[in-house]
Amino acid sequence: MSRTLLVILPNWVGDCVMATPALRALRRGLPGARIAILGKPRLLALLDGLTSFDETFPSAVDSARGLLGAARILARRRFDVAVILRHSMRSALLAWLAGIPRRVGYRAQGRGALLTDPVRAPRAEGRRIPEPMPVSYRRLVEVLGCAWRGDAYELAVPEAFRDLAEERARALGLAPGEMLIGLNPGASFGASKLWAPERFAAAADALHARLGLRSIVFVAPGEEGIARAILEAARSPVIDTSPEPLDLALLKPFVARCRILVTTDTGTRHVATAFGVPTVVVMGPTDPRYTAVNLERTVVIRRDVECGSCHRKVCPIDHRCMEWIQAEEVAEAALWLLNH
């Protein structure tokens, strides 16, 4: 088969985690190939430590200049095949400009002419049918004759980052091996995915009363206000990471030491799944079918409202899909998970 393979990663944290089964299938299905992955630098750090690829190309490709520069670099590498996990026109154009002779991806946004192996997503009444992202990626892998090797997500923590995580844990006042209740209240997607900080705090209080564990708040830069609101509302001890938010490389070992994670529907939920951490997801505007896989240790709490699965970044009405979810049921779901 091919000697050199380029995988163009998705742009979101959760989608990248959900792409790890595809990387595994490519590695095992093409044992002699050299596999490179291209993506945003922070997402490459997320996948650091895996053995399913050989090299990385950090590139956001978010401008015409960046696109052309990346294409020139890739052209010099003479890749045989590009597997394009993104659905954007720009990602297909990148592979085409780089002169990669075989280009596998979904026929979307009018980019079919740029692909040698255009794949059609299932549709009904002219619209794409929502399905778990690993299922979507599986079709692309199977075009290359690679057998699927299961849906389980994979992430790893390189030794160097374990040491850095321990240093950071000590700076935060954590005892060696101390388990935590993880709180992930942010959402880079938009405000529509957010759940009230006071309810995160109330859920943390209820879990602390039963488990005796401290909570830790995971937030991204710019979400310091959300963390502050949780700390002000909580009666139980909460560790604040917002003064120096954890990057994705350090987030992994901190999530891995959580006894339970309470989160919005963001990429961190999939990081937790990869490490086997029980997770309660408070889900509002997004369609659960896109992530309906590897749910054995996950409870998704959502309301079936008439305007549901709108995928709007900002709710134009009363945000009922999230407002109608209460802290008590989230805490109960977490305790149920821990007892099953």
Instruction: Quote the pLDDT of residue 2.
Output: 59
Q: Among 117, 143, 169, where does a domain finish?
A: 143
Residue type present at position 217: V
Instruction: Tell whether the model's pLDDT for residue 334 goes beyond 80.
Output: yes
The predicted-structure confidence for 280-298, as pLDDT tens digits, reads as follows 999 999 999 999 999 999 9
Indicate whether 103 and 178 sit together in one domain: no
Instruction: Tell whether the model's pLDDT for residue 1 goes beyond 70.
Output: no
Indicate whether 306 and 186 sit together in one domain: yes
Domain range holding 74?
Answer: 4-143
Is residue 155 assigned to a domain?
no
Is residue 152 assigned to a domain?
no
Is residue 184 assigned to a domain?
yes
State the pTM of this model.
Answer: 0.96
Is residue 231 assigned to a domain?
yes
What's the mean pLDDT in 121-150?
94
Instruction: Quote the pLDDT of residue 44.
Output: 96
Instruction: Tell whether the model's pLDDT for residue 237 goes beyond 90.
Output: yes
Residue type present at position 235: R
Indicate whether 103 and 205 sit together in one domain: no
Q: Among 112, 143, 174, where does a domain finish?
A: 143
The long-range contacts involving 124-132, CB below 8 angstroms and separated by at least 24 positions, are 130/287, 130/289, 130/290, 131/289, 131/290, 132/18, 132/289, 132/290, 132/291, 132/292, 132/293
Indicate whether 92 and 212 sit together in one domain: no
Q: Among 143, 173, 191, where does a domain finish?
A: 143
CATH of the domain at 205: 3.40.50.2000
DSSP assigned state of 78: T
Indicate whether 21 and 112 sit together in one domain: yes
Is residue 153 assigned to a domain?
no
Return the number of other C-beta atoms located less than 10 Å from residue 163's C-beta. 11
Indicate whether 116 and 211 sit together in one domain: no
At residue 187 the predicted structure's pLDDT band, cuts being 50, 70 and 90, is confident
Indicate whether 243 and 180 sit together in one domain: yes
Indicate whether 51 and 93 sit together in one domain: yes
Is residue 277 assigned to a domain?
yes
Give the dihedral of Cα atoms 172, 214, 153, 151; nearest 10 deg.
-170
Provide the token pair at 208.
């602390």
At 126, give phi and psi (nearest 5°).
Answer: 80, 5
Give the dihedral of Cα atoms 314, 229, 295, 162; nearest 10 deg.
120
Distance CA 200, CA 79 (A): 47
The predicted-structure confidence for 79-95, as pLDDT tens digits, reads as follows 999 999 999 999 999 99
Domain total of the chain: 2
Residue type present at position 79: F
Indicate whether 180 and 313 sit together in one domain: yes
What's the mean pLDDT in 183-203?
93
